[in-house]
Each structure stands twice: as C-alpha cells, then as structure tokens.
C-alpha cells in the first residue's frame, strides 16, 4: 500500500501493507499445506465476507474479530492471507509493534488511519500479527511507552465497537500468547472467535515437506515420510528452514542432488547444533562422555515408556560434549505419569553410569542439565499435574514454573510453608526413585554397557539400528520404532 507523502502527516499514517487481489499474487487455501481443521474453521470467515446479506437477513451479527492462536512458524500469516485470497478482498497486514512509537498518540492515529483505509476498501481484512505487542493486560505503569500502548489498544477497541452490520471489515489477529491478552480484547463483539493453529502432525508434515521441496533437486533415496516422522514438534517454518539448510549443505559438498543423508545432517544441525570438530576432548573426557551417553541410551532402551533412541554421539555439538537423542514413536497429545517417571530415570542414566564406572568421587558436571530437567519434571508432576495421591489433584503452580519461584503472579505465596515442605519432600522422593531405577538397570547390564561404550569410542556415533543390534535376542526388551 502507498506510504503517503513525506510530510509531517506521513508519521501518523498506518504502516500496514495492502495486498490487492487484483494486482498482487493471490494466496488461497490450496497454498497452505496441511492445517485442514484450521482451514475449515476459517472457511466461515470467507463466507462472512462473500455473503454478508445471507447473515444479515437471518438477523445474525457477523463476528468482527477472529483471534488466531498458535506457536511461531505455524503459518498464521499465510492462513490469514489465504482467507483474503479465498474471499477475493484486499488484505491489510501490520505487526502490533508497528503501531507504537515513543511519541504519545502516534499509535492511536495509525489505528484510525488503518481502519479508515480498510473501510474505504471494504469488504476487506485487517491482519494484526503479534497483537500481544499492543494488547497485553493493562496494569498501572510509569512512562510514556505504557501510555502510548494503552492509547493504541483503546483506539482499536473503539474502532471495533464502531462497526455495524453494514461494515464489511473483519479483523484477524495472531498471537502465540493468548494468555497475556487484555480481557477487553476478548469481549463479545471484539475478538470473541478463536482459531487454534497447532503444530503440524505427521501427515501435515509430509505435505509441508512436499511443498517446500518442489523447487529442490531431491535424490531418489530421499524418504520424506521418514524425515517427517523424525521432525515431531517442527513448525512449517522449521521444515522450510530444514530443507533450505539441506540445499546449502549440498552446495558446500559440491553435489547436485540433496540426498537423504544430507537431509539428516541438516535436521541434526538444526535440532542439536553443528559438530565442533575443533573441540578436542582428553582421553578421560572421551571415556566419561561415552559411558555417560550410553547410560542414557541403555536406561531408555530398557524402560517401556521412553522414546526410541535415534542416535548416540560423543562428538561435541553446540555447548554439549555428547548427546543421546530420543525421538517419539508418534505424535502424542498427552503425557502419562508413567512416561514422566521413566523420563526422569532415563535422564539420570548418564550420571549413574559415571558413578558406577568411575566412582562417586569422579562424577562430573556433565549431568547438570539432566538433573535440572529431571527436577523440573518432578516438580511439575506434583505442582501442576496433580500426580501425587497425598497432595491430590491440586495445582500449586503459578503462571510459570521457573526454578523455585513459586509465588503467584503479582507476588505472595499461594500455599503454606508446610505445603511447600511437603512438595519438596515429594519431589525428592520421585527423583530418588528415578535415580535408583536407573542404577538398577545400569548395574544389571554392566557388561553390555561396557561393550556398547567400547564400540562407541571407536566409531563416535551410533544410529538407532546400530544400537538396537546389541539387544538382539535379549528377552524383556521393549520394541520401539520411530514413526
């Protein structure tokens, strides 16, 4: 959209970018891979814009604000543009942070200008990305920046309240933090409709890989389904980044096709960091790392509720000396108490291995993040998920669990000192049992542990198949497959 003149009035002009369906490249739902349920929810918005009379004749009041909630990179902006494309209407796009300036009143003026322009081009869509930048819960504050944000928010609410059934403008807003939004934004007549944009599941990831790989020369050995199975938790943007990284790696290796091995390298680089070949470990550090990582892998392998081992590596990556990488067998929505307990035991596998093979006096700091993670899981089990029989299904957590900061939002304890002591006691009990479970498995499989570790010291990395081969013929070993 035009930025207006270069005079003083340009400062208060809206910075929104306008996409004209007659002039700009049109995006439709066909351009959005996966997200079938989300597209189905947004089809209703398309119908509002295409057939407003149908709803007016029925006496229905068309929703004016639709809040799109989801993690970064899940395609909220693309979906919003697709709604405009399907509706064949102009699309005004702006980030919440672009409204606010250090000068009081500029944000509100930009809101007025944006809504004025959208009405002039009605039917149309206004898309506000990162709406939480201006729509956070209001509280007493000091400084002009706070006043400016509040004035901007108030102007948006005023504009939305001024809509009537003849105003064919719909506002889509996106955020990954719906919990921090001011309640006034969510009142009826404002953003009272919510569409949740989730991370893509397995089949959606396959479709996204297919879309992003269209312009890339893939070798015939590439199995996109296998890579999609490994990328649980990846957003659409993450997948696009992975394929771009693979193309860059192929270029650096001077090959004309992207092979499956190159895709795996790109995946590992993004997920756990680049290898640090210049970081040379001493002989003792190499041995400690190998025993530590195999400890995680063996405990994880022998427990029924942990994910399969994807790779064991003693090559330094990022800030770690080594890594044992577990990947889910499938996409899951919930985590059971049994899985949490097994994750804690698996997390202690590295520390226990150091103690069993090198003695208590020679344990290292290598388990610090494992201990931190185990403690966070145990504390969440008691405080957030109500997994303790004695304390009961009660939530003791504040808005976030950060170490020992257990006060309610706004300050002050939300439970007694006696309850705090009981929580700490229960957390220690869970952690102790997890450590003992890990120790039992390590001691019972000490010879096998030694054998796998010696092989790892020779080859430096083990894949899932190479690791699983050590367990062939053993009874009582859970069978696990990725994807």
Average pLDDT over residues 76-86: 94
What pLDDT band is residue 300 in, cutting at 50, 70 and 90?
very high
Structure tokens at 371: 């201990």
CA dihedral 430, 432, 434, 438 (to 10 degrees): 180
pLDDT on residue 146: 57
Query: How far apart are the C-alpha atoms of 364 and 415, rounded to whole Å?
Result: 36
Q: What is the pLDDT of residue 436?
A: 98
Residue 96's nearest CA partner among 67, 62, 63, 64 is 67
Letter string b/e over residues 259-298, b meaning 16 or more CB atoms within 10 A of that residue's CB: bbebbbbbbbbbbeeebeeeeebeeebbbbbbbbbbbbbb
Structural contact between residues 391 and 422, judged by C-beta atoms closer than 8 angstroms = yes
Is 293 a known active-site residue?
yes
Per-residue pLDDT at 26 exceeds 90: no
DSSP, residue by residue, 11-66: GGS--PEEE-TTTSPP--GGGS-S-HHHHHHHHHHHHHHH-HHHHHHTT-----EE
Q: What is the pLDDT of residues 221-240, one digit of tens each?
A: 999 999 998 898 899 999 99
Distance between CA 333 and CA 335 in Å, rounded? 7
Tracing tokens 């930025």 back to the chain, one arrives at: 3
Please name the residues in contact with 246: beta carbons below 8 A apart, sequence gap of 6 or more.
Answer: 216, 258, 262, 263, 265, 266
* CB-neighbour burial class of residue 395 (10 A; exposed 0-12, middle 13-18, buried 19+): exposed
Residue by residue, DSSP assigns 115-141 as HHHHHHT-SEEEEEETTHHHHBPP---
Report d(CA 123, CA 130) in Å as an integer: 23
Determine the Cα–Cα distance for residues 349 and 26; give it in Å rounded to an integer. 53
Of the pLDDT bands very low, low, confident and very high (cuts 50, 70, 90), residue 471 is: very high
Q: Could you tell me which CATH class the domain 283-471 is placed in?
A: mainly alpha
Please calculate the CA angle 364-369-371 and round it to the nearest 5 degrees: 80
Give me the catalytic one of 293, 329, 460, 466.
293
Residue 170 confidence (pLDDT) above 70: yes
- Token couple for 267: 């995946």
Question: What average pLDDT does the structure give for the chain?
Answer: 87
Assign 150 a pLDDT band (cuts: 50, 70, 90).
Answer: confident
CA distance 232 to 91: 32
Same CATH topology for 202-272 and 283-471: the answer is no
The percentage of the chain sitting over the pLDDT mark of 70, rounded to a whole number, equals 89
* Buried residues in 3-17 as b, exposed as e (16+ CB within 10 A): eeeeeeeeebbbebe
Residue range 315-358, pLDDT digits in tens: 887 667 789 999 888 888 899 999 999 999 999 999 999 999 99
Answer whether 262's CB lies under 8 Å from 253's CB: yes
202-272: CATH topology: Helicase, Ruva Protein; domain 3 (1.10.8)
Question: What pLDDT band is residue 405 in, cutting at 50, 70 and 90?
Answer: very low
Domain 8-196: top CATH class: alpha beta
Radius of gyration (Cα) for the chain, nearest Å?
A: 27
Rounded to 5 degrees, φ, ψ at 134 are: -120, -10
Token pair 């799109």 is found at: 68
What's residue 181's pLDDT? 92
Domain locations along the chain? 8-196, 202-272, 283-471
| Phi and psi at residue 323, to the nearest 5° | -155, 140
Structure tokens at 353: 């291995």
Are 209 and 239 in contact by the 8 Å Cβ rule? The answer is yes
Which residues does residue 68 pair with via DSSP β-bridges, in sequence order?
174, 195
pLDDT for the residue numbered 354: 98
Mean of pLDDT values over 93-98: 89
């Amino acid at each position: 959209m035009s930025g207006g003149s270069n005079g003083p009035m340009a400062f208060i002009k809206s910075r929104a970018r306008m996409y004209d369906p007659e002039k700009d490249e049109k995006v439709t739902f066909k351009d959005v891979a996966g997200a079938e349920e989300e597209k189905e929810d947004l089809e209703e918005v398309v119908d509002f814009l295409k057939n407003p009379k149908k709803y007016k004749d029925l006496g229905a009041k068309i929703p004016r604000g639709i809040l799109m909630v989801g993690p970064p990179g899940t395609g909220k902006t693309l979906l919003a543009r697709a709604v405009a494309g399907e509706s064949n209407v102009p699309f005004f796009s702006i980030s919440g942070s672009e409204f606010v300036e250090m000068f009081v009143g500029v944000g509100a003026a930009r809101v007025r200008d944006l809504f004025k322009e959208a009405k002039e081009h009605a039917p149309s869509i206004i898309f506000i990305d990162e709406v939480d930048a201006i729509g956070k819960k209001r509280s007493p504050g000091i400084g002009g920046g706070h006043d400016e944000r509040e004035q901007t928010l108030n102007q948006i609410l005023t504009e939305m309240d001024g809509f009537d059934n003849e105003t064919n403008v719909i506002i889509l807003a996106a955020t990954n933090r719906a919990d921090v939004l001011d309640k006034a934004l969510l009142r009826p007549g404002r953003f009272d409709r919510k569409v949740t944009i989730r991370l893509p599941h397995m089949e959606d990831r396959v479709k996204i890989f297919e879309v992003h790989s269209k312009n890339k020369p893939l070798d015939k050995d590439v199995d996109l389904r296998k890579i999609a199975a490994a990328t649980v938790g990846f957003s659409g943007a993450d997948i696009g980044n992975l394929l771009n990284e693979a193309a860059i790696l192929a270029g650096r290796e001077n090959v004309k096709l992207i092979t499956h091995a190159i895709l795996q390298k790109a995946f590992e680089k993004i997920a756990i960091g680049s290898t640090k070949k210049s970081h040379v470990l001493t002989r003792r550090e190499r041995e400690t790392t190998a025993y530590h990582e195999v400890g995680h892998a063996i405990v994880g392998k022998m427990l029924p509720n942990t994910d399969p081992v994807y790779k064991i590596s003693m090559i330094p990556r990022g800030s770690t000396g080594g890594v044992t990488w577990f990947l889910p067998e499938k996409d899951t929505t919930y985590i059971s108490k049994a899985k949490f307990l097994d994750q804690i035991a698996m997390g202690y596998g590295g520390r226990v291995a150091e103690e069993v093979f090198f003695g208590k006096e020679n344990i290292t700091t290598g388990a610090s993040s494992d201990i931190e993670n185990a403690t966070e899981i145990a504390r969440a089990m008691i405080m957030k998920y109500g997994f303790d029989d004695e304390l009961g299904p009660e939530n003791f957590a504040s808005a976030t669990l950060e170490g020992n900061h257990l006060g309610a939002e706004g300050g002050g304890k939300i439970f007694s000192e006696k309850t705090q002591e009981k929580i700490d006691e229960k957390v220690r009990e869970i952690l102790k049992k997890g450590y003992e479970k890990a120790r039992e498995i390590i001691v019972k499989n000490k010879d096998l542990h030694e054998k796998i570790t010696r092989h790892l010291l020779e080859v430096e990395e083990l894949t899932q198949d190479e690791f699983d081969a050590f367990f062939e013929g053993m009874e009582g070993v859970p069978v696990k497959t990725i994807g």
